[in-house]
Amino acid sequence: MTAIRVLPELLISQIAAGEVVERPASVLKELLENSLDAGARAIQVTLDEGGLRRVQVEDDGAGLERDELALALARHATSKIASLDDLQGVATMGFRGEALASIASVSRLTLTSRTNDAGHAWTVRAEGSQQGAAEPAARAAGTTVLVEDLYFNTPARRKFMRTGQTEFGHCEEVLRRIALARPEIAFSLKHNGRVSLHLAKHSGAERAAALLGTEFTAASSPVEARAGSLRLHGLAGTPQSARPRADAQYLYVNGRFVRDRTLSHAVREAYRDTLHGERQPAYLLALELDPRAVDVNVHPAKTEVRFRDSGSVHQFVMHALKRVLSPTAAEAPVSYVRVAAAPGGGQPGLQLAQPAAAYQRFMAAAARADNAAPLPQAENAPPLGYALAQLHGVYILAQNEAGLVLVDMHAAHERIVYERLKTGIDAGRVEQQQLLVPAAFRAEALEVALAEENSETLGRLGFEVAAAGPNELAVRAAPALLAGGDIVGLTRGVLKDLREYGATEVLKARQNELLATMACHAAVRANRALTVTEMNALLREMEATERAGSCNHGRPTWYQLTMADLDKLFLRGQ
Ligand SMILES: Nc1ncnc2c1ncn2[C@@H]1O[C@H](COP(=O)(O)OP(=O)(O)OP(=O)(O)O)[C@@H](O)[C@H]1O
Ligand SMILES: [Mg+2]
């Protein structure tokens, strides 16, 4: 065996570089974070060949003194922490004092800097283990770090690099993550001599729109919640705007982009009930907390964190987000004042200049046909208002103070049934109704066996299914909510789920999918005529149901057209 020996400095740095400097984008991340820590207000990034030839970051931050330059490039040299205590409460992006040394060990690095009160700038050059002396240079206050020919001296690593275009894509993503967290800083990005991004100093929403698109900002709700020293803020994409790919999910902890299971799990939970399984929500969420309550010294690249109390962080984030995503319809962000009843109980507030006689006759006939219809007498109109009519058997039209409410009847009913079933299962049992005539159907022997083995689970779901022969099943009782629907289709659907996933899975992990299948079977189908009373009942139930704003496939269940929206449509008052 060879004798143990201490490794040379350069090799130590190169080993360290393996962890931090994975690719040009990681160089860019380290340099950008240094500029943030230096208090920069504007940062210019210049890349050539995706950063493989050149990564350059210029800032207008605090800068370095002449004799600090060499130290900045030395390993374990940092201005950011001095003790274990500092480390435990670290508020800067960097603290390891290793990034520049690591980068310098695998590239040709030039560091040029000038503090505010220095007469001129100073520059040093480092190449592998060679470091030159500081020389005078010209530059305004701030720092420029130029990194050329990454991995020129470690060809094995160089081989792992992809094309310039791919590396550029990674660099862009790094810049995007940082720029989203720091809208108050201006950024520009040049690639191969061309300006590819220019971001002025922004507000948070402007920055999000500039980087993630106005489609995202338009279809998202602001998040702002606090509890003790925890704060969550940002933008949560609506369930309706979820997309097939998870390409717009940004989570930050104290300004740092992170990948953290606690956080992403909390977010997923918050979206779970309103999102169809395969859809991915878009979000930009920042958690701020006491730096002492989170350890960022987990991995050299600092994208992982450890929370001291991950349980409370999880609870806080999940609930804060749920409140934003699933307000009950009664809390929906529409302003409702009062709908005054029109004299005679007719159409309140309808102020058409020329009410057509035919229309009035039509309304009168509708009212006669449905004597039970409660006329809008209430001083305070309910949030979703009163039903006016049904459109093509699909939509309910209702009037509230704000204007017109359009309800997708099937989606709304589905959501109500879903929530009720869920409450039933959570309470241990879904309310059951005996069928006057059992619904019998032909089944495979396997299905018959399955029904018998799972009678307990089926019971919890509100079913009583028994064998009526070797190839026949009979449903004797069904969930009360669903008893009027397609019992056979419903039972088959449930058996299919049981067969594919097993009872435990169906009741736990797949519970939402199962409930969705059940609710969908039960919900009023489009094209069923509802009386005004039934429509009003549906509206009241929606107000009382959690998450009534979207059905369980993430489609919206109702939509508000305000008087102002309608006026705009008819160019009134313009
Ligand atoms: N753009 C900059 N402006 C001013 N000072 C800088 C800049 N970049 C680096 N420095 C100085 O150089 C030091 C070393 O930087 P380096 O990135 O190697 O370590 P760090 O940021 O302290 O820790 P980490 O390794 O976690 O990034 C910093 O502590 C800082 O004092
Ligand atoms: Mg650093």
Find the range with the poorest average confidence among 91-100, 206-215, 470-479, 515-524.
515-524
Residues facing 561 on adjacent strands? 404
Quote the mean pLDDT of the chain: 83
Using alpha carbons, select from 452, 493, 499 the residue that is nearest to residue 472: 452
Whole-structure pTM value: 0.64
Q: Whose CA is nearest to atom 31 of ligand 1?
A: 79
Element (H, E) at 518: helix 511-522
**pLDDT above 70: residue 374:** no
Residue 522: predicted pLDDT = 66
Find the range with the poorest average confidence among 112-116, 266-270, 419-423.
419-423
Q: Whose CA is nearest to atom 21 of ligand 1?
A: 94
Three-class SS state of 529: coil
Between 276 and 5, residue with greater pLDDT: 5
User: Binning pLDDT at 50, 70 and 90, where does residue 16 land?
Assistant: confident
Q: Out of 34, 37, 116, give the residue to mutate to test ligand 1, the one with the largest number of ligand atoms within 8 Å of its CB.
A: 34
User: Binning pLDDT at 50, 70 and 90, where does residue 379 land?
Assistant: very low
Question: In angstroms, what CA-CA distances link 243 with 75, 174, 212, 221, 411?
Answer: 44, 22, 13, 16, 20
Phi, psi (rounded to 5 degrees) for 141:
-60, 135
Residue 330: predicted pLDDT = 40
Over residues 203-216, the pLDDT tens digits come to 999 999 999 999 89
**How would you label 49-68 residue by residue, b for 16+ Cβ within 10 Å and e otherwise?**
bbbbebbbbbbbbbbbebeb
Q: Out of 100, 111, 185, give the residue to mutate to test ligand 1, the one with the largest number of ligand atoms within 8 Å of its CB.
A: 100
User: Which ligand places an atom closest to the C-alpha of 121?
Assistant: 1
Between 142 and 394, residue with greater pLDDT: 142
Q: Whose CA is nearest to atom 28 of ligand 1?
A: 78
Over residues 59-72, the pLDDT tens digits come to 999 999 999 999 99
Residue 301: predicted pLDDT = 84
d(CA 455, CA 137): 83
Our answer on whether the CB atom of 341 is closer than 6 Å to any ligand 1 atom is no
**pLDDT exceeding 70 applies to what percent of the chain?**
86
257: which residues sit within 8 A by CB, 6+ positions away? 177, 178, 181, 250, 251, 303
Ligand 1 midpoint to CA 78 (Å): 6
**pLDDT above 50: residue 335:** no
252: which residues sit within 8 A by CB, 6+ positions away? 181, 234, 258, 285, 286, 287
353: which residues sit within 8 A by CB, 6+ positions away? none
Most confident of the following: 85-89, 187-191, 536-540: 187-191
Ligand 2 midpoint to CA 219 (Å): 36
Our answer on whether the CB atom of 273 is closer than 6 Å to any ligand 1 atom is no
Q: Out of 78, 93, 111, 144, give the residue to mutate to test ligand 1, the one with the largest number of ligand atoms within 8 Å of its CB.
A: 78
Ligand 1 midpoint to CA 250 (Å): 25
d(CA 297, CA 23): 21
Our answer on whether the CB atom of 102 is closer than 6 Å to any ligand 1 atom is no
Residue 332: predicted pLDDT = 42
Sign of CA dihedral 131, 133, 134, 138: negative
Helix, strand, coil % over all residues of the chain, rounded to 5: 40, 25, 35
**How would you label 94-132 residue by residue, b for 16+ Cβ within 10 Å and e otherwise?**
bbbbbbbbbbbbbbbbbbbbbbeeeeebbbbbbbbeebe
Our answer on whether the CB atom of 78 is closer than 6 Å to any ligand 1 atom is yes
Most confident of the following: 88-92, 421-425, 490-494: 88-92
Our answer on whether the CB atom of 62 is closer than 6 Å to any ligand 1 atom is yes
Residues in the chain: 574
Residue 258: predicted pLDDT = 95
Sign of CA dihedral 76, 80, 82, 83: negative
Element (H, E) at 439: strand 432-442
d(CA 262, CA 298): 15
**pLDDT exceeding 90 applies to what percent of the chain?**
40
Three-class SS string for 360-377?
HHHHHHHHHHCCCCCCCC
Residue 351: predicted pLDDT = 27
The minimum-distance atom of ligand 1 relative to the CA of 35 is 1
Ligand 1 midpoint to CA 20 (Å): 14
Our answer on whether the CB atom of 34 is closer than 6 Å to any ligand 1 atom is yes
Q: Whose CA is nearest to atom 8 of ligand 1?
A: 34
